[in-house]
Structure 1
Amino acid sequence: MTDRPLRISFATRLRNSFLTGVLILAPVTITMWLVWTFLQWADSWVKPYIPARYDPEEYFNVAIPGFGLLIAVIGITVIGFLGNNLIGKWIVGFGESILNRMPLVRPIYKSIKQLFESVLKEHS
C-alpha cells in the first residue's frame, strides 16, 4: 500500500466550488432581497401621503428607495418626542382613556401595549 494523495476529480472540484459559491452568495442575496422588499413595502405605505413638492422624485426624476421609510422614521421620532412632553402625555392619556372605553378594542389594545412594553423593557 502506498501513501499517495487522493486525486479529486474535476467534477468534484466543480461541485465543491459551486456549493461554496452558494454558501457565500445565498445569505447576502437573501438579505439584500429582504431589505429591498421591506423598503418597497415601507415606501408604498408612506409615499402616497408625501406632498409632491417634498418628494425628491419630482425634482430628480429618479426613484429614491427608502425615502418613504426615512420619512416614517422621522415622523415616528417626532411623535415620540412630542409624546414625552407634558402636553403629549396628556394627549396620549386622553387617547388611551377613549380606547379603554371601547369594549372590542380595549383587550386588543391592552395586549399589544403590554407586549411592546415588555419587549422594549428587555432591550433597554
Structure 2
Amino acid sequence: MKKYLLAGLLTWLPLAITIWVLLWIQGLLDGMFKGLLRVAQAVLPVGATETLQGLGQWPGLGVLVMVALLFITGVFVTNLFGQWWLKQWDALMSRIPIVRSIYSSVKQVSDTLFSSNGNAFREAVLVQYPHAGSWTIAFVTGRPGGEVAGKLPGEHVSLYVPTTPNPTSGFFLMMPRSAIHALDMSVDEALKYIISMGVVVPPPPAPPAGHLALPEGADPNRLG
C-alpha cells in the first residue's frame, strides 16, 4: 500500500505544485490590479467608480490587464523618449527620504539579475563549500568591486550558493577564480539539480564534433 501511495503522490505532486504556483501568480497580479482600481476610484468621478467595481469582479481580468500593462511599459521604456522619462522618474525617487534607499537598492539588484546585458546567474560552477573536500554548485554573480576588490589578492569572483530545496535563500561568497571549476550544464539544469537534492541529474555534455562516443564501460585502449 505504501508503494502505491508513493507512486500516486509522485504523479500528482508536480501538477499540484504547478497549479499552486500559477494560482499564486494570478492572486498577485489580481491584487495589483485591484490596487490600481482603488487608486482610480479615488481620482475619478463617482459615476465611473461603479464600472470599475464591476471590472474588479471578473476573475482573471487582472492577469490580462497587468500583463498588457507590463508589455506596454516595456515597449515605452525601451525607446529614447521612454528612457528619458524613466531617468526623470529615477531621479524623483532618489530625492525622497527613506524611499530612495529602498528603491535604489531594489533597482540595482533587479537590473543586475534580470538585465539582458548582465552576467549574473549566467554560469554555474563547482566550488568547495562549506569546507575543503565538500563540493557544491554555485552561480557566478559578477566580480568584487570598490574597497573589497582592493583588499583581495589576485582575481576573485562573486558567487551565490543556493540552499536546498529552496534556492531563493543562500550564501554570498567571494572566492579566487582558480578555486572554482566551470560546469558545462546550464543554469536551469543546475537549479533542477539543486532543488531535487541531486536526484535530477543533468545529462552529460555532448561530445565535440568528430568525436566518437564510446559505449558505457568500454575500454578506449582496446578499440581499433
- TM-score range (shorter-chain normalised) is 0.5 to 0.7
SS at match of 2:96: coil
Q: TM-score by structure 2 length?
A: 0.40
CA gap of 1:45–1:33, structure 2 versus 1, over 3 A, is: same
Instruction: Report the Cα distance in structure 1 between the residues aligned to 2:59 and 2:99, rounded to whole angstroms.
Output: 37
C-alpha RMSD of the superposition:
2.9
The one of 68, 82, 87 equivalent to 2:81 is 87
Alignment partner of 1:108 out of 92, 102, 114: 102
- 1:44 equivalent in structure 2: 31
> Normalized per residue, which structure has more strand?
2
Q: Which residue does 2:93 correspond to in 1?
A: 99
1:112 and 1:37 mapped to 2: Cα distance? 22
1:75 aligns with 2:78: no
CA distance in 2, matches of 1:73, 1:15: 44
C-alpha separation in 2, matches of 1:115 and 1:45: 22
- Measure, in 2, the Cα distance between the counterparts of 1:123 and 1:64: 35
Instruction: Please name the residue that 1:30 is paired with.
Output: 17
Which whole-Å CA distance do the structure 1 matches of 2:17 and 2:9 have between them? 11
What's the counterpart of residue 158 of structure 2? none
Deviations 1:2-41 (CA, angstroms, capped at 9, x unpaired): xxxxxxxxxxxx2211111011112211221221232133
Could you list the runs of 4 or more consecutive aligned residues of structure 1 that deviate by over 3 angstroms after TM superposition?
50-55
Q: Which runs of 5+ in 2 are unaligned?
A: 41-47, 123-224
Q: Distance in 1 between matches of 2:28 and 2:77?
A: 26
1:87 deviates by: 2.1
Paired with 2:103 and 2:23, the residues of 1 have a C-alpha distance of: 31
Number of corresponding residues = 105
Structure with max Cα Rg: 1
Identity, in percent, stands at: 25
Q: SS of the residue aligned with 1:102? A: coil
- The TM-score with structure 1 as length reference comes to 0.67
> What displacement does 1:47 show?
4.7
